[in-house]
Amino acid sequence: MSEISSPRPLPPSVPVIRNTATAADMAVRLLQPLEGMLAAGESAKAEVVAIREQAQSFQLLLKLTLAGGKQATLQAESPRPLAQGSALVVTALSDTRLALALQAGGDKPLTSLDLQQLPPGTLVQGKVVSRDALPPQGAQTLYRLVVNLLNTPLAGSQLALDSPLALPLGSLLSAQVQGSQSLAFLPLSGRLDQLVLGQQLAAQQNRQASLEGLFKGLQKLSGGDEALRGSIDKLLGALPDSTQLSTAKGLAQALEGSGLLLEAKLLQGQTSTLPQDLKANLLRLIAQLLPQLPGASGPLAGLQNALNQNLPNLARQLLGAGATGSARQQALTFPLPSRLLQNMDDEADLETLLKLAAAAVSRLQTHQLSSLAQTQVDANGNLLTTWQLELPMRHQQEVIPLQLKLQREDSGKAEKAEQKETLWRVELAFDLDHLGPLQVRAQLLRGNLSSQLWAERADTASLITAELGNLRERLQAAGLEVGELACSQGMPPQGPKTSLEQRWVDETA
């Protein structure tokens, strides 16, 4: 049986496998005729029981299982090697030629991957279901692992791996497909497991609600003790206004205090900026609301309950009822849709404020987890890093949430560092009473900026279109080369490829 190497310690390795190929869509020449075993166009199951390398080809011994359970062996000549033990479906093309296709989920574990189903760069994940020690090879002991695949079109199939590590049963593995028998495994110490991340993302999506509901409730609250009022004032006072966000320094400070980096700050012991951190202030507010509710047992218990309910715990509720595929997909869309828990026309009581604050923390965590889920290496080796967040902005007497997504794509193909290119993408979404919902997408490459805006109101779209000339002049004054600037009425297209990206390719081809 051929081998697919197993995970290695950091850094991630790309295992080199002996040259065996996938059996998908390959024709072979028989060394003896079928003699009526299969008519042209008929199919049967087969297994590669032996392989021998020749000067310019490979000789295979195939065991066929025909209709009625009858078995027969055939010798064939192949231009490429096949893994011994591979389960195949063979179709007769003529009396001396067969078409071979890899049988996914066959009786035996797969020993090669179909690159049409799993193109290079695909993330595959699996769970170790069996482990057997192999005969010693020199000083190294190898283990034959059988992994149950958990995602991709091959979910439910089993894959055979050989590893020097005695991985425990039940271990979760993540790897990227490099070839039909080459996997680059991703060390769990270097990234969050995507399965757990996706389930937690869905759970957070089901608990989250829009930030405007909380801020309306806080602005109308008249009760509460002095400490609570102080926390509310600190929370509202730390929110940036439009003047701050109009400068580079002010925007940088607002991004740092958005809550996106709270856990990283805590891990690094950077506590000096926590009073300006939105998520830290929300958790502080929750800790002060809980003791004031009936049945609370004191500030310490309230803080613990708040942490249990709101801080991400990737090992909790892995199989929770809220972790649905649709919720996960909704959490990966941008912008996150508006979701209000209740109408804030009347003053909110403390229990309602607690629910709104917990939902606001879950919304910030949905952005954080979505950022992690969208940070990945694509099939071309380009590293895509995503930062998605929400900035509540003070505008006169209102608080307007601004949703922002930044993406940096670093080319992985350049041989020299100075030849590598960085593509920046920016998406922005907000809703102003006098303008309605607005969305912006922009891309920056080699100092050239291209942008598309969408306004749901026709009068807003006309107003923005009339001001695009002024916007172009200001961007050029900032030292940028400006490509296309356009505004459309409606909403931007959804999906991995947008019309803006296509136009960008056209402009720089």
CA distances to 7, 147, 245 from 140, in Å: 16, 22, 59
pLDDT at 119: 84
Strand partners, 385: 408
| Angle in degrees, 0-180, between the axes of helices 299-310 and 350-374, rounded to the nearest 10 | 40
Architecture of domain 21-110: Beta Barrel (2.40)
Whether residue 496 has pLDDT greater than 50? no
Give 412 or 473, the one with higher predicted confidence.
473
- When pLDDT is cut at 50, 70 and 90, the band that residue 5 belongs to is very low
| Least-confidence region, from 37-41, 58-62, 161-165, 236-240 | 161-165
CA distance 427 to 443: 9
Give 486 or 419, the one with higher predicted confidence.
486
Q: What are the pLDDT digits (tens) for 222-244?
A: 666 777 888 888 888 888 888 88
The backbone torsions φ and ψ at residue 428, rounded to the nearest 5 degrees and listed phi first, read -140, 140
Q: What are the pLDDT digits (tens) for 49-63?
A: 888 877 778 888 888
Token pair belonging to 263: 């856990």
CA distances to 57, 315, 390, 456 from 451, in Å: 54, 40, 21, 17
Mean pLDDT of 444-467: 93
| Domains of the chain, residue spans | 21-110, 196-377
Mean pLDDT of 454-473: 94
